[in-house]
Amino acid sequence: MLARSPQAALQRLFDEVGSVDQVGIEERVAKYGTRSIKKGAKIWGLKTAVSMVDLTTLEGKDTPGKVASLCQKALQPHDAELGVPQVAAVCVYPAMVKHARKALGSDTAVRIASVATAFPSGQAPLKTRLAEVKAAVADGADEIDMVINRGAFLAGEFGEVQDEIAAVVTACGDATLKVILEVSELETYDNIRAASFLAMRVIRPGDFIKTSTGKTSLNATLGNNQVMLEAIRDFYLDTGIPIAMKPAGGIRTAKQALTFLVAVKETLGDAWLNNNRYRFGASSLLNDLVRQLEKEKTGAYQAPYYFSEAAESY
Amino acid sequence: MPTLTAAKKSPRLAARSGRPAPELIFGDLWEFDPAPESADPKLKARYELFIDGKFVAPKGGKYFDSINPANEQKLAEIALAGPADVDAAYAAARRAYDGGWGKMPGRERAKYLYRIARLLQDRAREFAVAETLDGGKPIKESRDFDVPMAAAHFFYHAGWADKLDYVAPGRKVAPLGVVGQVIPWNFPLLMCAWKLAPALAMGNTVVLKPAETTSITALKLAEIFQDAGLPPGVVNFVTGAGEVGAAVMNHATPAKIAFTGSTEVGKIIMRGLAGTDKKMTMELGGKAANIVFDDAPLDQAVEGIVNGIFFNQGHVCCAGSRLLVQESVAGKVLAKLKNRIRTLRVGDPLDKNTDIGAINSREQLDKITALVAAGVKEGGGMFQSPCTLPTKGFYFRPTLFSGVSMSSTVAREEIFGPVLSILTFRTVDEAIEKANNTAYGLSAGVWTDKGSRILKMSTELKAGVVWANTYNKFDPTSPFGGYKESGFGREGGRQGLLDYCKLV
């Protein structure tokens, strides 16, 4: 009986993938914040961060009109003079995918991501969740952000967790998959590392693991970002399979985004410093990035109303 | 039963199929622009001796240059003290002790120490830049470690000064009198604070000699003593090289001498003082074992290893210079270490992004180079970070030696540079034996998820400090000092104070 208990299953998984020391990793990530990014390096970092944004609206009150303005912002984050790149993707609920496709058109580099699988809780029958994925892809989604079954993970039912992810991979077809671990519900760094490995073993090269839904109390932090980057690194060096990463929720300022990028640079290296391998799930971040780019150009901070400030009014 | 889907391809399979093993690219895609710290260090062109509360010219009229090891340029001239200057310094210290400092109520002495600590905080950036210019350490270390920690030592001992009745419960304590101190070049300001704060809190007066390559921050600290109104003669600084140090150590006046530096020089000092009634404390060399067990959180252990050996270019007496790693994870740890040191930034110490700065002097660089050459000759597998080094100044690449045996030069001698020797072990007992098989015993590190093993190791390791799942952590409240040839006496905490008093 003991061998079948959730604790035993977790223990076996931890033994296999190794553990994480909380104090040590938080000390490590605190050092990223002391990197001083100036001048050309700052501009490169800010523009790269813009190109990595999954511009997101996930609200009950989303409308086709709101999604259309979000898409416009994604295509042109600021007036053309500043040379701000387009964002990587817009991220919307499945019901909004067709409106986003209409707003963006079919001939665009901006991708459409959709949070399928009964986001954010994932508490719907698997059949329902898979149907949602297929519907979003059929409506024109290029990327699917799924949530893992945290209940099954915490109960030690890893086979179930992985089988469900594998089923979503199949349902995605050609669409890229992002697997949301919902780190705040896994609670410990050990769990985050273990869940990262469970997901990476069944997804495809270029698919993502993602921190959070943005719908719980704690979202992306440098600490859980680092745990996942290190898991991706270890998995890549072991198998040659590159997995991409997306921190989401809570990254609001350009300074934060640059610090996350420093973590990428110093953990995974240059090959991950692009939007195929790294994304930010964010809404208000984009305007702060643009504001900082404007400041680098003019030497002064512009008034907020130059940047269509609130995410509400894109 | 839950089943785990196996990884799609193991590295062995990848190798067998003829494809190169996956590698990470740490290139220049996102190169950081220079980010130099811009605070003014407020250096003088010439620094005099600090005797009896005043800056005075050396009686011999001689000066020597202090250079910036990062670019070999002259920073300032430093007075060269002669025997007559040392006599004058001790005479001033004697007068200050007899004239009131020793009898002053502790709560009054505390006020001076608090004032010194606050003034140091006020001028923290200025001191950090001066320390980096003079010694070569990265600005992020002088800014975030050396200067704040020096202030912390003055604050902590200021707190003790009016509570001396509780240092030795049931006994009364009294100051020793005049104390002679000689400090090294690796933490110039911090060592000054370590030595001065407990001595002053207890009511002693001091003659101190900074290291000849790094005298500037001590003499800047003398400016703070003047600003704080510290009575003349309570602290005196005499500057110069070994012969000045010998004059300070062998003078008839001091009741106690305190030395931090190499074991070699420590032995010479002890020989010189044999037969006298002088008290001594010695904080000497080290060759610490940093022990990693297979159940340790490896990425954090790697961070600890890096912090243990590359902190302050490895110019740390308690540096974790011998890595003992359990055989079952040795390959993994080495691979992780290699990737990690590729991301260390070596270069201009004043740049806020520099992780490893300049070696303190040409002499030390030559010593490191010679020991590393010996390591290569003895067959150690060497790996160095491929980073580019500045063309001027004294720099050394972060270096790993794998497959080192206990008899290798690089496993036995203190290198005092950014060079890590990697040895392996199989069992707990073997780890303990290898860790203790050294003439030194200053510090050790243990990395494991198992609490009981930490307790066993900390009992068995013959080292003054044992860090568990961390390394190079310091605090004024925590006594620091060695076993065996790493010295005797403790600095910091209640134990450190006991070394600056007599029980009455």
The CA distance from B27 to the nearest CA of chain A, in Å, is: 6
Tokens (6 digits) for B61:
């009229």
> Over the stretch A131-173, which tens digit does the pLDDT of each residue have?
999 999 999 999 999 999 999 999 999 999 999 999 999 999 9
Give the mean model confidence (pLDDT) for residues A267-281. 98
The answer to whether the CB atoms of B300 and A28 lie below 8 A apart is yes
pLDDT score of B179 more than 50: yes
What pLDDT does residue A309 have?
Answer: 57
Location of structure tokens 């979000």: A70
Give the mean model confidence (pLDDT) for residues B475-501. 96
Give the mean model confidence (pLDDT) for residues B455-468. 97
Give domain limits for chain B: 46-284+485-503, 286-468
> Over the stretch B289-345, which tens digit does the pLDDT of each residue have?
999 999 999 999 999 999 999 999 999 999 999 999 999 999 999 999 999 999 999
Q: Determine contact: B108 vs chain A, CB below 8 A.
A: no
HSE of B247 in the Cβ direction (CA atoms, 13 Å)? 21
> Over the stretch B231-248, which tens digit does the pLDDT of each residue have?
999 999 999 999 999 999
> What's the rounded Cα separation, in Å, for the pair B17 and A66?
51
pLDDT score of A17 more than 60: yes
Label residue B109 by pLDDT band (50, 70, 90): very high
Selecting among B141, B212, B317, B501, the annotated active-site residue is B317
> What's the rounded Cα separation, in Å, for the pair A36 and B82?
45
CB within 8 Å of B85: residues ≥ 6 apart: B49, B51, B58, B59, B60, B79, B238
B46-284+485-503 CATH pick, 3.90.580.10, 3.30.1240.10, 3.40.605.10, 1.25.40.10: 3.40.605.10
Q: Dihedrals φ, ψ of B51, to 5°?
A: -130, 130
**Is the four-CA dihedral B484, B488, B491, B497 of positive or negative sign?**
positive
Give the mean model confidence (pLDDT) for residues B479-499. 96
Tokens (6 digits) for B486:
């790493």
Q: Determine contact: B347 vs chain A, CB below 8 A.
A: no
Are B129 and B40 a contacting pair, CB within 8 Å? yes
> What's the rounded Cα separation, in Å, for the pair A171 and A190?
29
pLDDT score of B16 more than 60: no
Label residue A13 by pLDDT band (50, 70, 90): confident
What pLDDT does residue B6 have?
Answer: 41
Tokens (6 digits) for B311:
């902190």
Label residue A1 by pLDDT band (50, 70, 90): very low
Whole-prediction pTM value?
0.94
> What's the rounded Cα separation, in Å, for the pair B268 and B257?
13
69-108 in chain A: CB under 8 A from chain B: none
> What's the rounded Cα separation, in Å, for the pair B485 and B262?
10
Location of structure tokens 């003054």: B464
Chain B interface mutation, best of A51, A237, A261, A296, highest count of B Cβ atoms under 10 Å: A237
Q: Determine contact: A48 vs chain B, CB below 8 A.
A: yes
What pLDDT does residue B303 have?
Answer: 97
Q: Measure the CA angle with vertex A155, ends A150 and A161; round to 5°.
A: 50
Strand-pair partners of B49 = B56
> What's the rounded Cα separation, in Å, for the pair B293 and B325?
6
Give the mean model confidence (pLDDT) for residues B438-458. 96
What pLDDT does residue B9 have?
Answer: 43
What pLDDT does residue B168 have?
Answer: 94
- 8-state DSSP, B351: B
> What's the rounded Cα separation, in Å, for the pair A307 and A174?
35
Number of H helices, E strands in chain A: 13, 8
Partner residue opposite B32 with nearest CB, options A18, A37, A235 = A37
Active site includes B317?
A: yes
The answer to whether the CB atoms of A240 and B10 lie below 8 A apart is no
Q: Dihedrals φ, ψ of B242, to 5°?
A: -55, -40
What pLDDT does residue A110 have?
Answer: 97
Label residue B18 by pLDDT band (50, 70, 90): low
The answer to whether the CB atoms of B35 and A236 lie below 8 A apart is no
Cis peptide before B232 (omega within 30 of 0): no
Q: Determine contact: A258 vs chain B, CB below 8 A.
A: no
Of A181, A152, A155, whose CA–CA distance to A246 is shortest? A181
Q: What percent of chain B has pLDDT over 90?
A: 95
Q: What is the ipTM of this complex?
A: 0.92
Give the mean model confidence (pLDDT) for residues B380-399. 95
The answer to whether the CB atoms of A28 and B303 lie below 8 A apart is yes
Of B456, B460, B503, B464, whose CA–CA distance to B486 is shortest? B464
pLDDT score of B215 more than 50: yes
Give the mean model confidence (pLDDT) for residues B421-431. 97
Label residue B3 by pLDDT band (50, 70, 90): very low
Identity of residue A165: I
Residue B433 CA from chain centroid, whole number: 26
> What's the rounded Cα separation, in Å, for the pair A115 and A78?
26
The answer to whether the CB atoms of B9 and A237 lie below 8 A apart is no
Q: What CATH class has B286-468? A: alpha beta
The CA distance from B14 to the nearest CA of chain A, in Å, is: 8
Whole-number average pLDDT of chain A? 93
Give the mean model confidence (pLDDT) for residues B377-400. 95
Domains of chain A from N-terminus onward: 15-313 (3.20.20.70)
- Contact list in B for residue A230 (CB cut-off 8 A) is 299
CB within 8 Å of B147: residues ≥ 6 apart: B120, B124, B127, B128, B131, B189
> What's the rounded Cα separation, in Å, for the pair B315 and B418?
8
